[in-house]
Amino acid sequence: MLDCAIIGGGPAGLTAGLYTTRGGLANVTMFEKGMPGGQITGSSEIENYPGVTGEITGMDLMMPWPEQCQRFGLKHAMVEVMKVDHNDDGSFTIHKGDGTSEDALSVIIATGSTPKRAGFKGEDELFGKGVSTCATCDGFFYKGKEVAVIGGGDTALEEAVYLSNICSKVYIVHRRETFRAAPNTIKRVMDTENIELILNATPEEVYGDKMGVNGIKINTPEGLLDLQVPGVFTFVGMNVNNDVLKKEDGTFICDVNEAGEVIVNLRMRTSVPGLYAAGDIRIDAPKQVVAAAGDGAVAAVNVIPYVDEVKNSREK
């Protein structure tokens, strides 16, 4: 029986692992299907992680975390978690992708979020064939070529600036007149010569052939615009990864809001005793590395007394 099972190995899960083990829990496993680090490893530049200055990528930022977090005995199980069950005796069962399972006294769920699909025609068929959600991964396939960026938030604008250094031209397609990104990021977009804004516009259809995308048709106030670009990058928000908390009947083992985000209090406690949530998966998450890490620490410092109490009562 694990003292604590941490599901997910991004900033929230790693920090939860650091604080639970350093705080005295002996038997803690972090379940992460691959190398820990999380979605931030796909970001081209981090400007807002306190204490870290200079040009640094998400991958650079996360590089030392796993080693530090495992220094106090955190174990990493490189396996995908399919489902978490809440048992009658208050413990949890972690069902793994290899068909085996493991029991735990407490669970910190830190599964994060996944980029949303924008929902236009052809997007699913051409995903990975010119439609992408990762500029640092796929930008270099479009060196010297024109690309379109769909979205108007912080991520869309930051990645558009990154792409403008590689590509000959970047079109930003945004459904509104104004952007809701940080002023500093908006200014950088405006100051970049090879970025062109297409505002009040929504993608209609991305088209291509066997080798990939050839262009995208966009609804604009002036009519249908056909952009003949080989690359389309979408940054239109995130969906939380809450499947592991779903029961067979489709309901969740703990309370979630209408967006499927896990409802927590200021201790990151969910509606189920012993189940905590941290990072992007929780309600009102600012979706920032520093906040996710903070959540992981909060969840961990509250898990420790919970586990001690459960152990004491079980011994009696």
Between CA 194 and CA 159 the distance in angstroms is 14
Residue count of the chain, please give it: 316
Report, in Å, the least distance between residue 79 CB and other proteins: 7
Q: Among 137, 226, 243, 255, which one carries the catalytic annotation?
A: 137
Is 69 tagged catalytic?
no
Q: Among 138, 154, 280, 295, which one carries the catalytic annotation?
A: 138
**Is the Cβ of residue 66 or residue 203 nearer to other proteins in the bound state?**
66
Cβ atoms of residues 244 and 81 within 8 Å: yes
Q: Among 60, 85, 103, 134, which one carries the catalytic annotation?
A: 134
Strand spans (E) along the chain: 2-7, 28-31, 75-77, 81-86, 92-96, 101-109, 113-115, 131-132, 146-150, 169-173, 195-198, 202-209, 212-220, 223-227, 231-234, 238-240, 275-277
Report, in Å, the least distance between residue 228 CB and other proteins: 16
Between CA 147 and CA 132 the distance in angstroms is 11
- From the list 115, 111, 118, the residue with the least C-alpha distance to 261 is 111
**Is the Cβ of residue 210 or residue 316 nearer to other proteins in the bound state?**
210
Between CA 157 and CA 71 the distance in angstroms is 37
Is 138 tagged catalytic?
yes
Q: Which residues bind other proteins (CB under 8 A)?
A: 33-35, 37, 39-43, 57-59, 78-80, 97-98, 127-130, 132, 134, 136-138, 140-141, 210-213, 230-231
**Is the Cβ of residue 134 or residue 199 nearer to other proteins in the bound state?**
134
- From the list 268, 276, 264, 244, the residue with the least C-alpha distance to 32 is 244
Report, in Å, the least distance between residue 112 CB and other proteins: 12
Between CA 276 and CA 4 the distance in angstroms is 10
**Is the Cβ of residue 152 or residue 208 nearer to other proteins in the bound state?**
208
Is 134 tagged catalytic?
yes
**Is the Cβ of residue 129 or residue 217 nearer to other proteins in the bound state?**
129
Report, in Å, the least distance between residue 122 CB and other proteins: 14
Report, in Å, the least distance between residue 35 CB and other proteins: 5
Q: Would you please indicate which residues are annotated as catalytic (active-site) residues?
A: 134, 137-138
